[in-house]
Amino acid sequence: MGGPDQDPRTQLPSGTSRRQLLGLLGAGAIGLAAGGAGGAAAARTLLSRDGHHGDAPSPGAVPFRGAHQAGIVTPAQDRLHFAAFTMNSGATRDDLIALLRDWTEAAERLTRGEEVGDGMEPDNGLLPPDDTGEATGLGVGNLTLTFGFGRSLFVGHADRAAETQAGDPFGLRSLLPAEFEPLPAFAFDILDDTQSGGDLCVQACADDPQIAVHAIRNLSRIAAGRAHLAWSQLGFGRTASTSRAQETPRNLFGFKDGTANVMAEDSSGLAEHVWVGEEAPAWLRGGSYLVARKIQMTIETWDRASLAEQERIFGRSKRAGAPLTGADEFDEPDFAAKLPASGEPVIDIAAHVRLAHPKNNSGSQMLRRGYNYVDGSNGLGQLGAGLFFISFQRSPETFVRVQRSLQPDLLNEYIRHIGSGLWAVPGGIGAGEFVGQALFE
């Protein structure tokens, strides 16, 4: 612990706060305020803390406000921290509005690379800092924060039936879109309630994992007393491309998957498959539905499968990612092609590429934005690894349809769905608005 004479605070003119000092410095009164070395040090700290205060966007910053929320068609960053929140029992409509306002303010600062609140050094040294500080100095890292609302936000929780606002805790029930039904049970689900659902979700994506974690951590802290972290998931290594400028990456099975994604450049495809239109209440137009599925991969058994078996399961070659009927990744698969000798289809009737393809799903498409994850290992010496699948689609029905098509998928032997969530992502946040403001007007 340093002595009081080492504390720059004691060097400030009596009654001068750090923020006032900044004002003095801004007015060109450096000589007045920075009377000693300690004062100069304090001034440097201040300037670095508030260094991004100008109107000019910082390098690597993705605009927070716009026609649609960021983090959907934004070229997929490499790192994810996804978080689901539950509103505290007893929280009111005013609490929810205040939370969304506070989150909006913090998110705008975070996505500009600024510290939240009073930053990591409050004027009063006995206060805990508003900003936890671990992202300071790391830059903006293309951070995006995407907010979604769970069905339970509109209809409440069954196990909270004793509450006065049972069934409509925040006065939003009438704004629930007709299509916003819970996802049905799917074959091979072994869902864990502690990694599923949530009244609110926040998808934080960034180039640096610590930037994403910092954002979720600080938003979680801001939520205290109103909402509580229900579960969260770290992801690395995007498993889909959302822009033609990006290569299709590989999942932890070593395969390219999701080649037939809706791309950011495909504005008509986005309008048709991703953005919610006139069919929905006004608050959701220009938004989307976010499905998250935590898909555990049985890595060890997969690694013991032969190359031929692995390629049969996906219906693609391992290295090039080409459909087994083609040579390049983006070659259209020929599902009718037969092997001359046996007459069997070249692409197995239960291969993943066949079952997931839009052609076999009445043209249904979604924008996939998943990430690989490894949550360490279990006590049996198996990796706790898999795919944190995220997709955005105009209707939950799209996901349901594709997921049902995958029921006979050969891949199912090597995966289990262990977490699940569905959220409605409101449209873009306009100037001066807070996230989801249209819900409350």
Partner 1 sequence: MTSSNLRNAAAVAALSATALLLAGCVPNGAPNATSIAVTANDEGCEVANATGTSGTLTFTVQNDGTKVTEFYLLGSNKLTIVGEVENIAPGTSRDLTVQVGPGEYFTACKPGMIGAGVGHAAFTVSGDAVATTPEEDAVVAQYVAYVKTQTEELVPRVGEFVAAYKAGNDDEARALFPIARINYERIEPTAEQFGDLDPKIDYRKPGAIEEGLPFTGFHRIEQDLWLDRAIENYSQPEKNHYPKDDLVALTPEERATIGDQLVADISELNDKVRSPDFTLTLADITEGAKGLLDEVAAPDGKLPGEENEFAHTDLYDFTANVEGAQVAFDTVRALLVANGGEELATELDARFVDMLDTLAGYGSYEAGFVSYDTVDATKRNELAAKLTALSEPMSRLTAGVVGS
Which positions lie near partner 1, rule CB under 8 A? 1-5, 10, 14, 86, 88-90, 124-128, 159, 193-194, 221, 224-228, 230, 379
The H or E element containing residue 148 is strand 144-150
Find the distance separating the first CA and the last CA of the chain, reported in whole Å.
Answer: 52
388, 233 contact by CB (below 8 A): yes
Which residues face 85 on adjacent strands?
A: 200, 229
| CA atoms of 346 and 314, how far apart (whole Å) | 12
| CA atoms of 359 and 438, how far apart (whole Å) | 37
Residue with smaller CB distance to partner 1, 221 or 285: 221
Residue with smaller CB distance to partner 1, 193 or 265: 193
Residue with smaller CB distance to partner 1, 125 or 343: 125
Of 336, 348, 333, 330, nearest in space to 261 by CA: 330
Of 233, 62, 213, nearest in space to 143 by CA: 62
Q: How far is the CB of 379 from partner 1 (least distance, A)?
A: 6
Residue with smaller CB distance to partner 1, 48 or 89: 89
Residue with smaller CB distance to partner 1, 156 or 177: 156
Q: What is the DSSP letter of 54?
A: S
231, 292 contact by CB (below 8 A): no
Q: What is the DSSP letter of 250?
A: B
Count CB neighbours of 226 within 10 A: 21
Q: How far is the CB of 87 from partner 1 (least distance, A)?
A: 9
Helix, strand, coil shares, percent, the chain, to 5: 30, 20, 50
Which amino acid, residue 53? H
199, 150 contact by CB (below 8 A): yes
Q: How far is the CB of 33 from partner 1 (least distance, A)?
A: 16
Residue with smaller CB distance to partner 1, 340 or 379: 379
Residue with smaller CB distance to partner 1, 192 or 300: 192
48, 119 contact by CB (below 8 A): no
Q: How far is the CB of 88 from partner 1 (least distance, A)?
A: 5
Q: How far is the CB of 231 from partner 1 (least distance, A)?
A: 9
Residue with smaller CB distance to partner 1, 4 or 376: 4
239, 387 contact by CB (below 8 A): yes
Of 135, 140, 145, 74, nearest in space to 112 by CA: 140
| CA atoms of 369 and 272, how far apart (whole Å) | 18
Residue with smaller CB distance to partner 1, 10 or 382: 10
Q: How far is the CB of 123 from partner 1 (least distance, A)?
A: 10
Ramachandran category for residue 210: left, alpha or beta (phi over 0 → left; psi -120 to 50 → alpha)? alpha
Q: How many CA atoms lie within 13 A of 421 on its CB side?
A: 35
Reduce the DSSP state of residue 227 to 3 states and report it. Answer: strand
Q: How far is the CB of 84 from partner 1 (least distance, A)?
A: 11
Q: How far is the CB of 190 from partner 1 (least distance, A)?
A: 16
Q: How far is the CB of 4 from partner 1 (least distance, A)?
A: 5
Residue with smaller CB distance to partner 1, 225 or 277: 225
Q: How far is the CB of 127 from partner 1 (least distance, A)?
A: 4
| CA atoms of 425 and 413, how far apart (whole Å) | 32
